[in-house]
Structure 1
Amino acid sequence: MAEIVLEQDNPGLKSLCDEFRANNKIPPEKFELYQVKRGLRNPDGTGVMAGLTMICNVHGYLIADGERIPDEGKLTYRGIDVNDIVNGCMAENRFGYEEVAWLLLFGELPTREQLQTFSRTLNSYRELPEYFAEDMIIKAPSKNIMNKLARSVLALYSYDENPDDTSLENNMRQAIQLIARLPTIMTYAYQVKRRHFDKKSMYFHPIDPKHSTAQSILNAIRPDRNFTDEEAKLLDLCLILHAEHGGGNNSTFTARVLSSTGTDTYSAIAAAIGSLKGPRHGGANHRVMMMMNDIMENVHNWEDETELSGYLDKIVRGEAADHSGLIYGMGHAVYTLSDPRAVILKSKARKLAEEKDMLKKFELFERVEKLSPDAFAKVKGERKVISANVDFYSGLVYEMLGIPSDLYTPLFAISRIAGWCAHRMEEMETCGRIMRPAYRSLSKSRPYLPLEERNRE
């Protein structure tokens, strides 16, 4: 075999991949034969029970006589309906993400004094360690902000005088500092990406200690630092809705798996960010917007449901959009009749669309949501109860807020870090066992062959 050049289109590398494919085939029927629950999913699509939590509950269906019955979705943080949290903050016309972070971390709603102290504490830690931005972000730009978030979180280990202490006190300190710093890392990484890869101006605005998390983000990404209170409160709403979603979602489970080993906070959170980056998880909101842009380019009359339905059929058949066969933003592992986060965002998106003269675009989203179940039924031959999930409308809301697509998934991470940290501490304080699921081996015993006997022609 000639020397292998590790470039994607090189024949030598292709031969290595052919070698892998030839020796790494597992027939799908084997999973059923050995009752292996792929993706830690039961045959009915429900998740395998892997732990207990007091942090969050995601309700999307009922079980009766062993059958899963669709139901309206409900999301509760520490037992409190997220709708009640949102409505409570709106009634008092105030920001709510900091309150939600406290609730997730500590288990109770904060008093006014506790909330004020906690918000001041977060603001005091928004600045990055000295020379961190220069050494870790500016000197090593990344095309993908999620990649830079993960690398920067790992790098913070080196700036921590006590990084490996896994006591509750140290985990709590690290959690609060990360919740405060991650938005700053995100906005710095975005500015550097703009300058290095997009050849646009880079600007770093001073951090205002009076700003909420949502305000600090808009302050950092707007060239003129101008934003309305309504815009900031809508972004705050997005942060609230993304802050937590139970221990079974992939990124939170990742954080819990690593935490069960006793590793440091930075390793666990960086891994969770890596999980969220995937298009089947947090990256879906960006994929939704890419898909919708493709639909807008290829469907001539957005109001013609027959034409739109035909194109959705092509998407499900893998003949259009990214050829994945997926209508991004439709369906969820738990929710059936509705995703409460999507319901809330949709109502806000309509109001904002009217103000931004983007109502036709919003109504196209509504039609895709309405017609998608029929497309799956026609192409797949089965009718499942599916509804829009939070990713379907979040990207549209971000676009209407003037937030660049580079930040759609990173904003998810900025929100979710509160939930990740809460689950990390719960795992370490209440479980006490390393996670160790089993995999059944399908390899058969065979003899070791001397090198000269290994010719495979």
Structure 2
Amino acid sequence: MGNYNFSTITPAIRELSEMGMHHNQIAPELFDRYQVKRGLRDENGKGVLTGLTNVSDVCATKVVEGKTVPCAGELYYRGINVRELIDGFLADGRFGYEETAYLLLFGELPDQPHYEWICRLLADYRSLPTAFVRDVILKSPSANIMNTLARGVLTLYSYDEMAEDTSLPNVLRQSLELIALLPLLAVYGYQAHTYYHEGDSLVIRPPKPELSTAENILQMLRPDGAFTELEARVLDLALVLHAEHGGGNNSTFTARVVTTSGTDTYSAIAAALASLKGPKHGGANIKVVQMFEDLKQKVDDWEDEEQLRRYLSALLRREAFDGAGLIYGVGHAVYSVSDPRAEVFRSFVEKLSRAKGMQREYALYDRVAALAPQVIAEERHMFKGVSANIDFYSGFVYRMLDLPLELYTPIFAIARVTGWSAHRLEELATAGKIIRPAYANVCPHHPYVPMDRRHEKEFSAQE
């Protein structure tokens, strides 16, 4: 391959791209004509029903006098309200992610022996194969840690003698190993990136078996390995709230679609990681943080609601920040009145902001969370209300925890691999058909034209 630059777009590629652009564009009116539910959503934004699940329930509406109306959002893991789940392990002084993983994978809450079992098992699995860090992670580090995660997961296939076995016990074993190993892949991948690309010191700190997932992330990431209990509790809570969110979100649906083809666990999880990497899915909290940094540059007085309203209106009119016309972190595909994850998270965000001396910034976030739905209602015609979602606060939390921006989406993946695994197991246990929706062709048929009769076009393939 030599020194070939894979990022080079040659003049010929650019020219052909412009020539062929019209072949890749489909007229919007055709979607209405063929009654296509774009994004698998109906005209009211509600997802098209494509499957059934026992894993979780995302509730945002209720029936009143025969009509479906929006209500305060609720989230259930295996039938248990997430609020009650969190209250339960906090009251007992436990970290919750391991308990949540057990619940999602096995369908019920663990008793004390089973809770201790899964904690020990995950601790035992937190060990990468010999020389894996040197040969896989430290060589060719990626600037995007999501790509590092995907490559690491696919490479682990080569170390598994039963990689192709899709029996439930083996897939469960693989799932538990990946739940344990994703934090190592993410943190070590980040350390390698900063060492090679930013000149930082390379610190590879091993996990400690007595620590929880959240505690290990912090101690492996930080040069001195130190963290406070509040920091670990808040990160643990973030992992619990991000662990699962129904079968219809893009990455979980991807995992289920790929699973129905009969492929291996590593390929299915790598596909889900590729989906989560997208800024419309897992990267939203990064956009929230960047948006607030822009806001703080443009708004002089953070307590002046009129100034904040003007900035939010400018966002919607594509006149501020990235020109996308969005207020990031506000609104959700399902929730309208409220996102229960954001509501649960909010009080802990406030506690952490006090501990970090960042109450003023927390007050700004709260102010924007209250104003944004009003501004959106004034600027846009909406079929449902909007509210702050969990991404609105999670990026702020990660910044207060001194987590690097590069790890925001990987932290999401570390949490959500549990949900992906639960849905993969459910798909395999149900033994359903391969998922294969239909696409209608709208390109007219036409005959093949021999080379000497094709219309010549000016073309300069300058390589």
Instruction: Please tell me the TM-score bracket, short chain as reference.
Output: over 0.9
Question: Within 2, Cα distance between the matches of 1:368 and 1:21?
Answer: 40
Q: Which piece of structure 1 moves more, 114-123 or 23-32?
A: 23-32
Alignment correspondent of 1:374: 374
Q: Deviations over 1:232-260 (max 9, x none)?
A: 11111111000000111110000000000
SS in 2 for 1:116: helix
Do the aligned residues in 1 keep the contact of 2:315 with 2:326 (CA within 8 Å)?
Answer: yes
Aligned partner of 1:138 in structure 2 is: 138
- 2:176 alignment partner in structure 1: 176
Corresponding residue SS for 1:54: coil
**Structure 2 equivalent of residue 37 of structure 1:** 37
State the shift of 1:65 in Å.
Answer: 8.1
Q: Residues 63 and 333 of structure 1: is their aligned pair in 2 closer, same or farther, counting only changes over 3 Å?
A: farther
CA deviation after TM superposition for structure 1 residue 374, in Å: 2.9
Counterpart Cα distance in 2 of 1:157 and 1:404: 28
Please state how far the C-alpha of 1:63 moved relative to its aligned partner.
Answer: 5.0
1:236-385 residue pairs with structure 2 within 5 A? 236-382=236-382, 384-385=384-385
The TM-score with structure 1 as length reference comes to: 0.96
Q: Superposition pairs for residues 402-441 of structure 1, below 5 Å?
A: 402-441=402-441
Please tell me whether residue 208 in structure 1 is matched to residue 217 in structure 2. Answer: no
Give the match for residue 461 of structure 2: none
Query: In structure 2, do the counterparts of structure 1 residues 11 and 293 end up closer, same or farther at CA, with 3 Å as the change threshold?
Result: same
Task: Sort the Cα spacing of 1:11 and 1:104 in 2 relative to 1 into closer, same or farther, 3 A.
Answer: same
1:445, distance to aligned residue in structure 2 (A): 1.3
Using the alignment, how far apart are the partners of 2:451 and 2:289 within structure 1? 53
Give the secondary structure class of the aligned counterpart of 2:198. coil
2:456 and 2:7 mapped to 1: Cα distance?
A: 25
Q: In the aligned structure 2, how far is the partner of 1:309 from the partner of 1:92?
A: 43
1:78–1:104 contact (8 Å) kept in structure 2 = yes
Question: Residues 85-125 of structure 1: CA distance to partner in whole angstroms, max 9, x if unpaired?
Answer: 11011111110100000000000101100110111010001
Amino acid at match of 1:309: R
Report which stretch shifted further, 302-311 or 18-27: 18-27
Kept after mapping to 2: 8 A contact 1:313/1:378: no
User: Residues 20 and 281 (structure 1 numbering): CA distance in 2 closer, same or farther, change over 3 Å?
Assistant: same
Moved more, 413-422 or 346-355: 346-355
AA in 1 matched with 2:378 = K
- Bigger shift: residues 368-377 or 63-72: 63-72
Matched residues, percent identical?
50
CA distance in 2, matches of 1:177, 1:7: 35
Distance 2:453 2:367 in 1: 63
Contact 2:230 2:352 in 1 (8 A): no
Map 1:39-58 onto structure 2 (within 5 A): 39-58=39-58
Q: Which residue of 1 aligns with 2:452?
A: 452
- CA distances 1:260-310 after superposition (whole Å, capped 9, x unpaired): 000000000001011111111111011111111111111111111111111
Specify the alignment match of 2:73 in structure 1: 73
The CA deviation at 1:440 is 0.8
* Partner SS, residue 105 of structure 1: helix
- Give the superposition deviation at 1:188: 0.5
Q: 1:67-146 counterparts in 2 under 5 A? A: 68-146=68-146
Q: 1:376, 1:383 within 8 Å by CA — same for their partners in 2? A: no
Q: Does 1:163 align with 2:156?
A: no
Report the residue type matching 1:261 in the other structure.
Answer: S
CA contact (8 A) 1:204 1:220 kept: yes
Structure 2: runs of 5+ lacking an equivalent = 458-463
- The equivalent residue for 1:221 is 221
Mapped contact 2:44–2:383 kept (Cα < 8 A): no
SS of the equivalent of 1:197 reads: helix
1:68 to partner: Cα distance: 4.6
Q: What is the deviation of 1:6?
A: 7.5
Report deviation, 1:371: 1.7
Runs of 4+ off more than 6 Å: none
TM-score (norm 2): 0.95
Describe the SS at the equivalent of 2:368: helix
**Aligned mates of 2:209, 2:217 — CA distance in 1:** 12
Q: Amino acid of the residue matched to residue 235 of structure 1?
A: L
In 2, the alpha carbon distance for the partners of 1:216 and 1:7 equals: 36
Task: For residue 201 of structure 1, give the secondary structure of its aligned residue in structure 2.
Answer: coil
In structure 2, how many angstroms separate the alpha carbons of the residues matched to 1:188 and 1:97? 21
Return the offset for 1:7: 5.6
Q: 353-362 or 187-196: which moved more? A: 353-362
- Checking the alignment, whether the CA contact within 8 Å between 1:398 and 1:408 is kept in structure 2 is yes
How far the C-alpha of 1:200 sits from its partner, in A, is: 1.1
Aligned-residue offset at 1:32: 1.1
> In the alignment, which residue of structure 2 is the partner of 1:401?
401
Displacement of 1:383: 7.2
Any conservation in 2 of the 1:285–1:392 contact (CA below 8 Å)?
yes
Counterparts in 2 of 1:7 and 1:109: CA distance versus 1, 3 Å: closer
CA contact (8 A) 1:377 1:384 kept: no
Q: Which moved more, 1:344-353 or 1:436-445?
A: 344-353
